[in-house]
Amino acid sequence: MYMKNKLLDYFYLILLFISPVIFLAIKNFDNTYPLNFIPSFIFLIIVSTIIYILFNLLFREKTIKFLYFFYLFWFFQFYINSTNFNFFNLSNFNQKILILIVVILISFFLSFYLNQYIKNFIIIFIFMNFIYLSSGIFITKNSNQLNSSEYYKKMNLKFDSKENIYFIIFDQMTSKKLYLEKFDLDISQNISNFQKKGFKYLHNTETNNLISIRVISSIFNLNEDVSGDEKNIFLSENVENYELLTLLNKNDYKTWYLDNDMVKCPRHSLINCISRGKSSLINSPIYHLFSVSIFNKFYKYLIYEYFESFKKDRLYSETEIDKFFKFHKNNQKLIQNKKNFIFIHNLGPHYPYRDVNCKITSLDYKMSEDEVNDYKLSSLCVLKKISEFIRYIEKFDSNAVIIIQGDHGFSANNDVNSRDRSVFNLVKIPNNCNLSLKPVTNNIDTFKNILRCI
């Protein structure tokens, strides 16, 4: 019986300690790569074991009560900040102190007057939150079925061109207009320089999706409506019903995908992954977990500074555009043979933020001293990388078709619902496409129009 109670206590404690990461996993199910959470779970279980051993040495017979107090405090301070009530945005110091005192008192009461009823309450409370957060994931959404005649027309498109096609997503890159109006950043000279190189900037382009995975799925489905799970390219393995992949395959094109550390290359029989981003403690949810925690200063100055000194430059020394240059140098014959569709998901200007020379300034928006300014500087880094890419392609693949788009706009604190729909949209297309490329207001329509005339 004693052993059974001890195991139950251990189960409750582990559940309390890892619940914040489970909450993050559920809340970000649609816009991140699930395997990113595995290092976080392993890390928390190891830390929990170490804490358990230390508490046993320090408090002996009082270990369970102190552990519950510490874990409850850990859980509730995260829970408060993960709700709509944002503790760290409070300007009133007295309010913060009052909230901390309330959290401490609740944790103290629940732990030092611990009994089976309280344990049951804790576990029911946690599971009710799991169910509440999960409810939005498992509700089947109705997706609009594409008109069969339109599908037939799309799938029977024959490309006249054999040129390579480059589709580059710059994460969170907003439009020229919003850069000026919202961020006081004038990129008109950059656009003018791109236009001199044969590019066309498409004004007033909007996205129907505000989450990267949905934007990418809409590209591979050639359809802005990707509300149904069957359309999410990141949920399926070797399912060959994505329209773009089918169309490219019918025209003897190979599909190449260069991912980043946050959204990995999808597994699919028709997709060749150029490189797979590596998840680590520096970019996994454990980093975000501490950045939204009361313990963020502890994390920043002990763990974050360690990684910043020893790991940051190695992990983020290269942008995805730099990685493409490496790929090209090692596969020049492949590029010369044409008929390649190369999809690049560049993480910038999304955090980790970079300065004008593309050196990392902040790994997480929560660790940024001035997020808006960091975003602006990161955008200048991106414009620099676009210029480098254009010069490189001019030299090695001058007739290529190029689409450079933002997936969605910027929002402070990475608030999905506040992201701008207006996006950057720059294209280089064959001369015969200019007439076909009628004015559009949707990023996916831009791409479909280009495919119709190449």
Q: What is the pLDDT of residues 342-395, one digit of tens each?
A: 999 999 999 889 999 999 888 777 777 899 999 999 999 999 999 999 999 999
pLDDT tens across 28-43, in order? 665 455 556 777 788 8
**Best-predicted range by mean pLDDT (127-131, 133-137, 197-201, 446-450):** 197-201
For 377, the domain range is: 153-283+316-453
Residue 145's pLDDT is what? 44
Q: Are residues 59 and 17 in the same domain?
A: yes
| Torsion over CA: 110, 113, 119, 120 (sign) | negative
Examine residue 188 and state whether it is found in any structural domain, yes or no: yes
pLDDT tens across 237-259, in order? 555 678 999 899 999 999 999 98
> Is pLDDT above 80 for 333?
yes
Residue 74's pLDDT is what? 84
Q: Are residues 197 and 49 in the same domain?
A: no
> Is pLDDT above 90 for 94?
no
Examine residue 382 and state whether it is found in any structural domain, yes or no: yes
Structural domain count, the chain: 2
| CATH number of the domain enclosing 375 | 3.40.720.10
Examine residue 296 and state whether it is found in any structural domain, yes or no: no
Examine residue 379 and state whether it is found in any structural domain, yes or no: yes
Examine residue 332 and state whether it is found in any structural domain, yes or no: yes
> Is pLDDT above 50 for 213?
yes
> Is pLDDT above 70 for 90?
no
> Is pLDDT above 50 for 1?
no
Residue 376's pLDDT is what? 96
Judged by average pLDDT, the poorest of 81-90, 315-324, 357-366 is 81-90
pTM of the model: 0.72
Residue 142's pLDDT is what? 43
pLDDT tens across 117-150, in order? 787 778 888 888 777 767 655 554 444 444 544 5
Q: Are residues 279 and 413 in the same domain?
A: yes
Q: Are residues 443 and 330 in the same domain?
A: yes
Q: Are strands 425-428 and 401-406 parallel, antiparallel or unpaired?
A: antiparallel
Residue 140's pLDDT is what? 43
Examine residue 369 and state whether it is found in any structural domain, yes or no: yes
Residue 276's pLDDT is what? 60
The residue whose two tokens read 């983020």 is 316
Examine residue 337 and state whether it is found in any structural domain, yes or no: yes
pLDDT tens across 423-433, in order? 999 999 887 77
Residue 296's pLDDT is what? 66
Residue 81's pLDDT is what? 65
Q: Are residues 157 and 132 in the same domain?
A: no
Higher pLDDT, 230 or 388: 388
Examine residue 311 and state whether it is found in any structural domain, yes or no: no
- Whose CA is closest to 201, among 177, 183, 218, 217? 177
pLDDT tens across 146-174, in order? 454 455 455 678 888 899 999 999 999 99
